Amino acid sequence: MSENIVFKTWEELRMLAQMNPAIDEAVTKIHFLSEEDSVREQMEAWEEYYKIERSKNAQLQSEKERNIRLVQEGAEKDKALAEKDKALAEKDRRIAELEKMLKSEDVKY
């Protein structure tokens, strides 16, 4: 009957490995592979982080472009309103001028 031996730390495995070269080689390979998993997991975490950051940056850029467009549209509308105000002021001036002419000639309207 074989017993299952449970090791809780790498140090316990290394102590066993010192007594047997075959176990030493296996422990070294397992440790190396688990480190690769750790590195892989770290790389995946970094990839996910950068993916999220790129998404955030793209969204921020999109919002920035939208805000710029809205400001430009607002400026264009303000300019159009200013031109209309100027045209109305000119018409008001012309009406006042014509009313003055009519009054001076004593024309009733």
Q: Is residue 29 part of a domain?
A: yes
Q: Is residue 97 part of a domain?
A: no
What is the tally of structural domains in the chain? 1
Q: Is residue 21 part of a domain?
A: yes
Q: Which residue has the higher pLDDT, 1 or 39?
A: 39
The 8-class DSSP code of residue 2 comes to P
Domain span holding position 27: 10-78
Distance CA(25)–CA(107), nearest Å, equals 118
What pLDDT, on a 0 to 100 scale, did the predictor assign at position 82? 96
Q: Is residue 65 part of a domain?
A: yes
For the residues of 57-105, what is the DSSP string, one character each?
HHHHHHHHHHHHHHHHHHHHHHHHHHHHHHHHHHHHHHHHHHHHHHHHT
Q: Is residue 98 part of a domain?
A: no
Q: Is residue 96 part of a domain?
A: no
Distance CA(31)–CA(25), nearest Å, equals 10
Distance CA(104)–CA(95), nearest Å, equals 14
The 8-class DSSP code of residue 109 comes to -
What pLDDT, on a 0 to 100 scale, did the predictor assign at position 42? 79
Summarised one tens digit per residue, pLDDT across range 38-70 is 777 877 888 889 889 999 999 999 999 999 999
Summarised one tens digit per residue, pLDDT across range 69-106 is 999 999 999 999 999 999 999 999 999 999 888 888 86
